[in-house]
Structure 1
Amino acid sequence: MTSNRKSLSYSILELASVANGSSPAQTFEKSLDLAQKAEELGYKRFWLAEHHNMASIASSAPSVLIGHIAGGTKKIRVGSGGVMLPNHSPLIVSEQFGTLGSLYPDRIDLGLGRAPGTDQVTAHAIRSDRMQSVYQFPEEIKQIQQYFSSDNKGAKVRATVAEGVSVPIYILGSSTDSAHLAAKLGLPYAFASHFAPAQLFEALHIYYNEFKPSSFLQEPYTIACINVIAAETDQQAERISTTLIRLIVGVLTGQSDYMQEPIDMTPQLRQLSHDPALQRMLKYTFVGSKETVKQQTTEFLKQTGVNEIMVASHIYHHEDRLNSYRIFAEIMQEL
C-alpha cells in the first residue's frame, strides 16, 4: 500500500441522529451547533449522510441540510457523505449542488455513493428503476461532471447553475468496486470503515495502485471513517457507548429505534458488544479516554496511511458529543 500523505486532516460525518424524546427540528439545530464548534476546533469538513425510513437518523435530504449548515458557518467545508446517486437524477443533483456551490463558493463537496441508504422496500419506493441506475453509476458520475463543465454550454440539456462552479466530487464506497472506479476516474476516495470495515485495506491497495491522475486530482487522496466516543475516562466513555451498542443491535435485528439514553454497562450488553456480527461492523469504533482513543487512532492511521480521517458518532447527550469531538480534535492536533 502506498500513500502520498503529506499532511493529515480530520473531519465529521453527521447522520443527524435523533435521540429518544427529541424531534428532527431539534436534531438539526444540534447539528448546526456541532458544525459551528467543529469549525472552531479545526475540523476540515462536515459531511451529511443520506438515509431513509430510519427513526434514528434525520439526515434524509443532505442537499437541504448542507444549505442549513453552510449558512450557519463561515469556513468549514460542507458536503454530502453522501448523495446516493441511484436514488436521484444526475441533472437534479447537479442543479442542487451547483446552487449550493454558488451560494457558498469553494466550501461545498459532493460525495457520491451507489448504495440505497435504506432497506430494499423503501429503495423501490424512492425510485422503482434504481437498479438500472446502479449499473450506470460510473456513467452518471461522468454526466454530473459534464453538467458542471463550462464546456456544456452548447448542450441540449444543461444545469446552468452548475456550469463552471467548483464543487469537488468524491467517490464513496464500502467495497472494492468503488476503489476501482475512484482510481479509474482520478477522484478522491472515501471509505465507510465506520460500519463496513471488511474490505478497507484491499480497497485502499487497489485505489493507490490503480490511480490515474486526472484534471481533478493529480495524486491519490483517501478518507477513512471511524466511530469515536471519547470522554474524560474509559469508564465514562464505555457508559456513553451503550447508546451505540443498543442502536446497532436494533439495526441488526430489524428493530431500529431512536437513540436511547446511556446506561451502566450490564453483563448482557457486554456480551452483545462481543457478538461477532457487531464486532465486525464496529471494528473501527474507538471508545475511551483521550489517551485510549489516541493510541487507537495512531495505530489506525499508521496501518491505513489515509490522508484524512472522518469521525462519526451516535451519542445521546449533545454535550457529551461536543466533548467527544473536542477531545478528538486535541488528539489530532497533537498527532
Structure 2
Amino acid sequence: MKKPKIAYSILDLALVSQDHSLKQTYDGTLQLAQNAEAFGYKRYWLAEHHNAPNIGSSATAVLMGYIAQGTQTIRVGSGGIMLPNHSPLIIAEQFGTLASLYPNRIDLGLGRAPGTDRETAHAIRSDFMQAAHSFPAELEKLETYFSAENAKAKVRATVAEGVDVPIYILGSSTDSAHLAAKKGLPYAFASHFATTHLFEAIKIYREEFQPSKELPEPYVMAGVNVIIADTDEEAEKLATSLIRMIVGIFTGKRDFVQPPTAMTTDLKEIMQHPQVHQMLKYAFIGSKATVKAQVKEFMEQTNADELIAVTNIYDVNDRIHSYKLFAEIMEELH
C-alpha cells in the first residue's frame, strides 16, 4: 500500500529584520503565508515568544487572525501558545472566536515553556512555575471549555463550546511525548532547535499512544531548519543571519535579524561549536539538490507524518524562494 503523502508546513516567528518596521514585518508575514498557500503548504503556524526584538509574533492569536483573513485555505495555528502564560478560559475564547470566523482552518498548538527569559515569564504571570507544573490539568480545563457539555457549567467560554479547534501538543523533551500519547493528541517535536531527544520522544509517543476520538493513531510532526537557494554558496550566505541570531541567543545579546554577509572562517567555526552544532543538527542549508538529499534522509529516519519548516533569514523574498524550493522537494519526494 502506498504510504500517505507527507504534509509540509511552516513555523514562523514573524522575524523583525534590521531596518524593517513592524508593519513591514507583518505585511511580509502575510505575503509569505499567501505564497505558502499557493505552494501547497498545509498549515502556517506562529510561535509565541516575548521580550525579543527580532520576533514579532508575541500577540500570537491577534497575528493569526490577520493571516487567516488574508488567506483562503491554508490552516493557521499556534506553534505554539505557551499555555502556562495564560488562563485556559481566555485561550478558549480567543481560539473559539478565530475558529468561528475561519471555520476548519484554526489549529491550537500548545507548549509548556515560557517562550522567554525568567524575568519576563514572571512579568507575564507571577505563578508561572506553578502553572507549568500544572500543564496537564490546564490542558484538561481548556478541553472542557471547548466541549459542548460545558454549556451546563457555571464557568463557560461560550464562544468556544462545540467549536472545532484541533489541539496539538508541542515538545522539546520527552515529558510532552508521554502527555500527547496519553491524551491521544498529535505531537509536534521542536527538532529545529531541540535535537537531542527527537528519536526518544517519537518512540515514547508512538509506543504509549492511546487512540482518542480526535486521533485513531499517532501523528508526528517534526521541525526542521531549511535554507535553500539556487546554489550552495548562496544558501550559506543567507544562513549567516541565522548564525548571528543563534550567537545572540547564547550571549544574551538579541538583536534584529542582520543582513547576510559572506560566510567567513569565524562563522564556520561558530557552526562547529558543540552547542551550536547540536542545535543545528537538523538545519538543511544548500541548493535544492543538496537539501533534497538531507530531507529524504531525515524523513526516512523519523518516519514523520509531517515536516514543519523554519526558515530564519533576513529578506522576505529570499524566504519565499526558499519555501518554494522546499515545497518542490516535498512534492518530488512523495
TM class by smaller structure: over 0.9
**20-29 or 4-13, which deviates more:** 4-13
Aligned equivalent of 2:236: 238
Deviations 1:26-65 (A, max 9, x none): 1111000000000000000000000000011111011001
Query: How far off is 1:270 after superposition?
Result: 1.1
**313-322 or 31-40, which deviates more:** 313-322
Aligned equivalent of 1:188: 186
- CA distance in structure 1 between the partners assigned to 2:297 and 2:103 by the alignment: 36
How does 1:71-220 map onto structure 2 within 5 Å? 71-220=69-218
Letter in 1 for 2:311: S
3-state DSSP of counterpart to 2:89 = helix
Aligned equivalent of 1:279: 277
Asked if 1:53 is matched to 2:51, the reply is yes
Cα contact 1:5–1:305 (8 A) shared by 2: no
Aligned equivalent of 1:262: 260
How does 1:295-314 map onto structure 2 within 5 Å? 295-314=293-312
Deviations 1:120-174 (A, max 9, x none): 0110000001111111101111111111111110000000000110000000000
Match of 2:25 among 24, 27, 33: 27
Letter in 1 for 2:287: S
Match of 2:290 among 289, 292, 308: 292
- RMSD over aligned CA atoms reads 0.9
Aligned equivalent of 1:223: 221
Cα contact 1:224–1:306 (8 A) shared by 2: yes
Deviations 1:212-244 (A, max 9, x none): 001111110010001100000000000110000
Aligned equivalent of 1:334: 332
Aligned equivalent of 1:69: 67
Is there any run of 5+ residues in structure 1 with no aligned partner, and where?
A: none
TM-score (norm 2): 0.98
Cα contact 1:229–1:237 (8 A) shared by 2: yes
Letter in 2 for 1:49: A
3-state DSSP of counterpart to 2:298 = helix
Asked if 1:10 is matched to 2:11, the reply is no
- CA distance in structure 1 between the partners assigned to 2:255 and 2:4 by the alignment: 42
Query: How far off is 1:281 after superposition?
Result: 0.8
Query: How far off is 1:5 after superposition?
Result: 6.1
Deviations 1:170-204 (A, max 9, x none): 00000000000000000000000001110000000
- CA distance in structure 2 between the partners assigned to 1:135 and 1:99 by the alignment: 28
3-state DSSP of counterpart to 2:191 = coil
- CA distance in structure 2 between the partners assigned to 1:113 and 1:80 by the alignment: 10
Aligned equivalent of 2:245: 247
4+ residue segments displaced more than 3 Å: none
Cα contact 1:9–1:308 (8 A) shared by 2: yes
Query: How far off is 1:6 after superposition?
Result: 2.6
3-state DSSP of counterpart to 2:14 = coil
Is there any run of 5+ residues in structure 2 with no aligned partner, and where?
A: none
Letter in 1 for 2:112: R
- CA distance in structure 1 between the partners assigned to 2:316 and 2:74 by the alignment: 20
3-state DSSP of counterpart to 1:263 = coil
**269-278 or 68-77, which deviates more:** 269-278
3-state DSSP of counterpart to 2:131 = helix
- CA distance in structure 2 between the partners assigned to 1:315 and 1:307 by the alignment: 26
Letter in 2 for 1:213: P
Letter in 1 for 2:254: S
- CA distance in structure 2 between the partners assigned to 1:65 and 1:252 by the alignment: 28
Cα contact 1:5–1:307 (8 A) shared by 2: no
- CA distance in structure 1 between the partners assigned to 2:266 and 2:195 by the alignment: 25
Match of 2:316 among 315, 318, 322: 318
Deviations 1:307-332 (A, max 9, x none): 00000111111111110000000000
- CA distance in structure 2 between the partners assigned to 1:67 and 1:324 by the alignment: 25
Aligned residues: 332
- CA distance in structure 2 between the partners assigned to 1:259 and 1:81 by the alignment: 20
- CA distance in structure 1 between the partners assigned to 2:305 and 2:201 by the alignment: 15
- CA distance in structure 1 between the partners assigned to 2:294 and 2:330 by the alignment: 12
Deviations 1:102-124 (A, max 9, x none): 00000000000000000001100
- CA distance in structure 2 between the partners assigned to 1:5 and 1:146 by the alignment: 35
